[in-house]
Structure 1
Amino acid sequence: MTTTCPSGRHAHHDVYAGQCPCRPLLDLLANKWSALAIGALEDGPRRFGELQRRLQGVSPKVLTRTLRRLEDFGLLDRTVYPAVPLHVEYALTPLGRSAAIPLNALRSWAEENIDQALRSEPVAP
């Protein structure tokens, strides 16, 4: 759902509305591999292999799909350097760097609160 503010210049999107165009972007950013890939790129460009080593447990297929989706939404750039073997680097765009800020806070919160969250888990029967 989109509404236009009185000036007519800015649209306001309601992510709670079923047809809001924000939902696919929110879905992408809420994905753990997206959040981790963005975090891994905060310090600068990385090659695919570097990203895969940093994101322990991600399969090449899932990482490829994640990077493509991030690129499709304008959150990262993929640069191909003509060399043998082919050299490809991934880097955050300004939009990706802006998304990194709240995702960094969320990753930090998870690391700081995991022990308490695990203590709160109900015991399985």
Structure 2
Amino acid sequence: MAATGLPRTTRTDLARVTESLEMLAPRWSVWTLMTLAERPLRYVEIRSQLSWLHSGQLNPRLRRLTDSGLIQRTEHGPRHVTYSLTARATELLPAFTVIAAWGDEHLEKKLVRNARTGEMEPERIPAAQNVEDTIALISPRHTTPILWALKARGAASAKALAAEAMPTYGLPAVYLPLDRLVADGLVVNRSTATGVGEYQLSATGRALAPVFQSLSAWAVGRPLETTGAHPLWGQAPSSDRTVSGPWLTTQTRIPAPAAPTAPTAAPAWRGGDLFSHQAPARPLTVSPAGGPRR
């Protein structure tokens, strides 16, 4: 297929989305932001809601998110400091809803036995974890540029992808992220008539369209309602599914404990929101191989 390099405006858009992913990728960042979604909290209140984190994990996260302009630290008086979302972070919350929906649909779930009915059903994953796991899947270096290049081309050789998505690297460097994307089920590798491998997005990879649309809109400050007009990811993805292999992103993902249920540590998001553990509205069909693993 002929080379179709990304237009300059699309490359700028890609750079913004990549920077946004890098900002959100460190573990527990999404959980921290969502904990502050309803109202400002003091440090001890944040710790009570994220009780599995110790100070050595929470303090750096708060500092980093404050430096990124997503959290505001307000001193009200001696020993009285609160943390709250900035207006920029509040605008990000609708995008989290979109990202969580993709993770719930496409990331692997274990089958667990329902204590009431005795039936096996997919485990219920907190939406904050779905967001974090989805971001961890697409945030490793070069991953998103490769996905965008494949969306633009439809199919491409490793050499073409190296030139377009990793222009300052040699050809061998492209195979590691490509192999990871294939193993994660976001990309497929098919041999052409000449025996040369050609890569293209899988159905699961194409289904990332709403994720990239929402991140693009947030990065440039547009309303989420405009995402369908994205010049690259605006087309509706295919509805078929591709079974993936093991989840191979570089971050080790350890599921977070359930959010505390004590009245003093109630999650900031109410029933039906991003912290909800309610069962999905329809049963999920999970193949033995599942989706990209957490």
TM-score, structure 2 normalization: 0.31
Q: Deviations over 1:19-41 (max 9, x none)?
A: xx754541231334110111111
Given the alignment of the two structures, is residue 77 of structure 1 paired with residue 72 of structure 2, yes or no?
yes
The answer for the alignment partner of 1:39 in structure 2 is 34
The answer for the alignment partner of 1:89 in structure 2 is 82
SS at match of 2:110: helix
Q: 2: CA distance between counterparts of 1:58 and 1:105? A: 26
Identity %: 25
Q: Tell me, which stretches of 5 or more residues in structure 2 are unaligned? A: 1-6, 112-286, 290-294
1:90 counterpart letter in structure 2: Y
Which of 55, 58, 74 is the aligned partner of 2:53? 58
Larger Rg: 2
Q: 2: CA distance between counterparts of 1:22 and 1:116? A: 25
Contact 1:45 1:91 in 2 (8 A): yes
Which of 94, 109, 119 is the aligned partner of 1:117? 109
CA RMSD of aligned residues (A): 3.1
The answer for the alignment partner of 1:99 in structure 2 is 92
Given the alignment of the two structures, is residue 28 of structure 1 paired with residue 20 of structure 2, yes or no?
no
SS at match of 2:33: helix
**4+ aligned runs moved over 6 Å, structure 1:** none
1:94 counterpart letter in structure 2: A
Higher relative strand content: 1
Number of matched pairs:
107
Q: Deviations over 1:65-117 (max 9, x none)?
A: 1111111111110001223xx0110010111101222224444665x569962
Q: 1: CA distance between counterparts of 2:8 and 2:95? A: 26
